[in-house]
Amino acid sequence: MSSAQLDLFAARMPHRPYCTDDLGYGIRIRDKVSALRKRYVQVNPPATVGYLVFDVDREGAAFAWDDRNLLPPSWTATNPENGHAHIAYAVRTPVVRTDAGRQKPLAFLAAVQDAMTVHLDADPGYAMFVTKNPLSPAWRVVTYNGAVYDLEQLAECVDLTLARKKPRLLVSGLGRNCDLFDNLRHRAYREVIAFREGGCYQTWWRFILDTARKLNTYAQPLPTSEVQATARSVAKWVWRRFGQGAAVDRFIDRQKARQRRSAAARRGQTSARVVAAVEGLRRAGKRVTVSAVARIAGVSRPTIYRRHRSLLSAVLVGTESVSLAKSDNSGSGGALLAGVSGDGVGLPAGSLPS
């Protein structure tokens, strides 16, 4: 057993951690010396995340990492009665999760945690608050020398696409912090200008904190301290940067530019689907109508008429080519298609020159 790993665990513990010998009787705050004698103990301090811990509830759980070709953990603590275990990975540089930290490292950490939870088939509802104490004789503990990792090393062993957006009630672990931050900041962007008119930061702060509490509706809600830290971070940052003078003008301009780019991308995708639908109908020798094109392209008939009005006129004069042109300023969408008609003026397949 590596004393270095256990020394690191003890050094990273909170100074006054929550702990207990029986979770059924609740947890209490004790000094570190007393807590280290308990069976369960708080693994990370409130401000940082230095360990990713996974709760695997099946026989042989301590070797789940090996079954799934993951890196060796820093330590495992196994219940000798049923074989269930906590698998812990020490993060070389602990990630700050208060308003003093940056959001991107926390989001990356949450994505790694979600993906590793899936790979290990661990309990997704485990809050990673208290863990089986690897210093307690109640557990069968195995440590691995040198198993302290950068997040990039852990990410290389998992598929991060597994950390997809989930319904809010199913968001767990560190994903709750990121989800709360994203939802809260988007609400703050919309509301800050109205609060700026009154000019009172305290009113703004109370509104953001109240909103954060209402958003904390996860299956396992975040602790009050983490909700307050996220609310404080969002309130300060948005109040300083948005809501008055040139700052709000720049923000509005950026939002408008993003909306224009997003709309242009959607129009391009729609046009491509419409073109493909027309070509598919003609190759199949079927009658090309607006309803048929709309159904295959996954758009509404009004969209075809509104965005591709010019192509309908082209069909009526016998245009034969199918092409996709750049959008013009008229809002017609710029897609010029042949062989498309309204349902009342459909052209039979083969009626146009090939």
pLDDT averaged over every residue in the chain: 79
Place of tokens 């208290």: 130
pLDDT for 293 equals 80
Q: What is the DSSP letter of 177?
A: H
CATH architecture assigned to 175-243? Orthogonal Bundle (1.10)
- CA atoms within 13 Å, Cβ hemisphere of 161: 0
**Dihedrals phi, psi of 134, to nearest 5 degrees:** -70, -10
| pLDDT band, very low/low/confident/very high, at 251 (cuts 50, 70, 90) | low
* Span 263-305, pLDDT tens digits: 778 777 877 887 788 888 888 888 878 788 888 888 888 877 7
Entry pTM: 0.56
Q: Terminus-to-terminus CA distance in the chain, angstroms?
A: 78
Indicate whether 157 pLDDT > 80: yes
Query: pLDDT above 90 covers what percent of the chain?
Result: 32
| pLDDT band, very low/low/confident/very high, at 353 (cuts 50, 70, 90) | very low
Indicate whether 29 pLDDT > 60: yes
CB-based burial, 37-59: b 16+ in 10 Å, e otherwise: ebbbbbbbbebbbbbbbbbbeee
pLDDT for 79 equals 95
> What mean pLDDT do residues 20-30 have?
92
| pLDDT band, very low/low/confident/very high, at 249 (cuts 50, 70, 90) | low
Indicate whether 93 pLDDT > 90: yes
Sign of the alpha-carbon torsion through 241, 245, 246, 252: positive
Which amino acid appears at position 53 of this protein?
Answer: V
The distance from CA 92 to its chain's CA centroid, rounded to whole angstroms, is 23
Indicate whether 341 pLDDT > 90: no
| pLDDT band, very low/low/confident/very high, at 331 (cuts 50, 70, 90) | very low
Q: Which of 40-49, 234-243, 289-298, 343-352 has the lowest mean pLDDT?
A: 343-352
Q: Which of 89-98, 100-109, 137-146 has the lowest mean pLDDT?
A: 100-109
Indicate whether 163 pLDDT > 60: no
Q: Which of 33-42, 166-175, 232-241, 313-322 has the highest mean pLDDT?
A: 33-42
